[in-house]
Copies of this chain bind each other. A is one copy, B any other.
Amino acid sequence: MGAVQTIARPRAAADDSATLPLDTILTADCIAAMKALPAASVDMIFADPPYNLQLGGELFRPDGTHVDAVTDDWDKFDSLKHYDAFTRAWLAEAHRTLKPNGTIWVIGSYHNIFRVGATVQDLGFWILNDIVWRKSNPMPNFRGTRFTNAHETLIWASKGEKAKYTFNYRAMKTLNDELQMRSDWEFPICGGQERLKKDGHKVHPTQKPEALLYRILLACTKPGDVVLDPFFGTGTTGAVAKRLGRHWIGIERERGYVAAATQRIEAALPLDESAVATMQSPRQQPKVAFGTLVENDYLTPGAILTDAKRRYRVTVRADGSLVSECGAVGSIHKLGAALQGAPACNGWTFWHYEADGAGLRPIDALRQTWLLATQP
């Protein structure tokens, strides 16, 4: 195994160029279309297959509005067994069409990614990383029944253990303020102007953000490489590939998606440098929840907090809530406000703890200590 960056590999070989349908969309079933492609002919594959969500009944937000779920036929499978067979079939073709030193990316959620990942390994692919796409603005869990499903998972794999795959290490490090790019990436979900719409409705229920593809193509392909996307949808992969000077091949069955993708890619301009800056710099804001300090034993449940003048006295509980002597409970902010009869309160500066021999210190001091210990 190893990352090769220095060796200039040949572009698509002459015989391939003749047969490869470069920079076009094949309107066809993905497995059939892949079978028609020559073996060992593409440099990278990006695949966003159906997730097999298995959703139940209708879902409403607390304000009574209806949640527009993914109910399309292409996401329905009779059973896990059928889904596995489908997964194995298209991944086998992916393995065949990939060049020896090519890599594959597959995105999914907990509904399908474990089955996809196991099949990837079964077929002899060598997993290089799993990448977590952290959504900065995920849909909440409206019923309060689980943790907010705030991420999706990507698998990056080479064709085999010894393959000399492309990884543009320096580009990734530069992009990440001279720190190694990590396996957790934060992007917003696709919305606003970028989201394709027709008659006011989204064209595709699961359009991926261009920023995600941008980072993937920049990291794992070279200019002129051929990128295959067997689940092309509205063509995010094609649009980004064109912008970055990579060739692309899309496979998509639904004509509506093909039409939208065609128009979109025609409008895409190669190397839009201005967009690069906004899409590349991973932003992260250190935000600390009071509960984090409790979890990490900066404050032990049962600890006593008071305000600076010791008028109010409360006890810290296991979940980071506070309980007053009169039995009122709430977060550091809410209980501080309630006890004072104020509309709001900054709990970080209001509440204090007794530091050993140093008198009262605001709990904000603990937050600063935490940030110093955990931020690079």
Using a CB–CB distance below 8 Å, which chain A residues touch chain B?
1-3, 58, 60, 64, 76-77, 80, 109-111, 113-118, 120-122, 127-132, 134, 136-138, 140-141, 143-151, 153, 155-156, 161, 167-184, 186-188, 210-211, 214-215, 218-219, 244, 271-272, 274-279, 281, 289-292, 294-297, 300-302, 315-321, 323, 329-331, 333-334, 337, 340, 342-345, 373-375
The answer on a CB contact under 8 Å between B182 and A138 is yes
Within 8 Å by CB of A2, from B134, B138, B145, lies B145
A174 to B291, CA, bound (A): 7
A289 to B215, CA, bound (A): 13
Nearest-neighbour CB distance to chain B for A325, whole angstroms, equals 11
Q: How often does this chain occur in the complex, in copies?
A: 2
Known: A175-B294, A215-B295, A275-B302. A110 touches B321 (CB 8 A): no
Residue among A110, A127, A129, A329 with most chain B CB within 10 A: A110
The answer on a CB contact under 8 Å between B344 and A151 is no
Contacts of A182 in B (CB 8 A): 138, 147-148, 150-151
The answer on a CB contact under 8 Å between B244 and A318 is yes
The answer on a CB contact under 8 Å between B180 and A147 is yes
The answer on a CB contact under 8 Å between B301 and A276 is yes
Contacts of A147 in B (CB 8 A): 129, 131, 156, 172, 180-183, 219
Within 8 Å by CB of A275, from B113, B301, B331, B333, lies B301
Contacts of A130 in B (CB 8 A): 109-110, 113, 153
15 other contacts beyond A2-B145, A149-B183, A151-B182, with CB at 8 A cut-off? A3-B145, A60-B342, A60-B343, A113-B130, A131-B147, A132-B151, A144-B173, A148-B183, A271-B301, A274-B302, A274-B323, A275-B301, A276-B301, A278-B319, A279-B321
* Chain B residue at smallest Cβ distance from A185: B147
